[in-house]
């Protein structure tokens, strides 16, 4: 049980807040998650710790060189490892992908900076992942997104009841929730939720899920 996650990054400190609070912190304490931050600059063979260089063929920006990543993976990759590269050119990250990744014993997340990776690094990679159609300054925030979404699916990390009937189950968004007070500034909780009639509540919620999905994410319903 549990998962080991190695994060290859040039900016390990970006992760410290994320890993030291709330559910992720508790998962690490309970040994359901083991997370290692690896600065791949430490694997540069060049005396100045250089990790990037200008692109062959010309063009703007800097490209991450092969050697630091290859040398680091030589040390940490095993037959059990799933190697994931974060890149805006990757496959879209979805709840189903999070479910599949959550089955792995060991994942290695490679975070890029600059214009991108030397293409040859992809020979080491099992899965290229993008968290959305926008360009970020690096793969660190995407890696946190992947870790967050995957961790909560590992048994014991959160209450299993919280995983049923949430957004993206059955390709629908979640139903709306209300809590006390039943009326606030003239805003009322729908009567059906106070009725105690569980069949009616179930039907209301199913319809609400269809309606919100149609409005905000018609693409999910095809």
Cβ neighbours for 24, distance < 8 A, ≥ 6 positions apart: 18, 33, 147, 148, 151
Interaction between residue 132 and ligand ADE (CB under 6 A): yes
Interaction between residue 136 and ligand ADE (CB under 6 A): yes
Give the Cα separation of 84 and 20 in Å (integer): 23
The number of angstroms, rounded, from the C-alpha of 197 to the middle of its chain's C-alpha atoms is 38
Region of 10-18, 33-41, 87-95, 167-175 interacting with ligand ADE (CB under 6 A): 87-95
How buried is 106 (Cβ within 10 angstroms: 0-12 exposed, 13-18 middle, 19+ buried)? middle
In the complex with ligand ADE, the residue whose CB is nearer, 85 or 172, is 85
Nearest distance from C-beta of residue 97 to ligand ADE, angstroms: 12
HSE of 108 in the Cβ direction (CA atoms, 13 Å)? 22
Give the Cα separation of 84 and 41 in Å (integer): 18
In the complex with ligand ADE, the residue whose CB is nearer, 2 or 114, is 114
Nearest distance from C-beta of residue 210 to ligand ADE, angstroms: 30
Interaction between residue 56 and ligand ADE (CB under 6 A): no
In the complex with ligand ADE, the residue whose CB is nearer, 34 or 126, is 126
Nearest distance from C-beta of residue 157 to ligand ADE, angstroms: 23
In the complex with ligand ADE, the residue whose CB is nearer, 145 or 193, is 145
Interaction between residue 8 and ligand ADE (CB under 6 A): no
Interaction between residue 87 and ligand ADE (CB under 6 A): yes
In the complex with ligand ADE, the residue whose CB is nearer, 90 or 156, is 90
Interaction between residue 2 and ligand ADE (CB under 6 A): no
Nearest distance from C-beta of residue 47 to ligand ADE, angstroms: 29
In the complex with ligand ADE, the residue whose CB is nearer, 1 or 135, is 135
Nearest distance from C-beta of residue 82 to ligand ADE, angstroms: 16
Residues in contact with ligand ADE by the rule CB under 6 A: 86-88, 90, 130-132, 134-136, 139, 142
């Amino acid at each position: 049980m549990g998962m080991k996650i190695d994060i290859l990054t040039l900016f390990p400190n970006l992760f410290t807040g994320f890993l030291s609070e709330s559910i992720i912190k508790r998962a690490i304490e309970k040994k359901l998650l083991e997370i290692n931050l690896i600065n791949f600059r430490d694997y540069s063979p060049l005396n100045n710790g250089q990790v990037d260089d200008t692109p062959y063929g010309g063009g703007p920006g800097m490209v991450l060189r092969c050697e630091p990543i290859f040398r680091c993976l030589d040390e940490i990759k095993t037959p059990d490892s799933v190697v994931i590269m974060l890149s805006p050119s990757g496959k879209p990250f979805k709840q189903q992908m999070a479910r599949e990744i959550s089955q792995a014993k060991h994942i290695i997340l490679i975070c890029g900076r600059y214009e991108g990776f030397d293409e040859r690094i992809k020979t080491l990679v099992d899965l290229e992942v993008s968290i959305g159609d926008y360009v970020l300054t690096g793969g660190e925030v995407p890696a946190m997104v992947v870790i967050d979404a995957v961790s909560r699916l590992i048994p014991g990390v959160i209450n299993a009841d919280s995983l049923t009937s949430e957004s993206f189950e059955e390709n629908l968004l979640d139903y709306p929730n209300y809590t006390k007070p039943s009326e606030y500034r003239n805003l009322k909780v729908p009567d059906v939720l106070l009725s105690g009639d569980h069949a009616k509540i179930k039907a209301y919620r199913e319809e609400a899920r269809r309606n919100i999905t149609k409005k905000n994410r018609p693409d999910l319903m095809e």
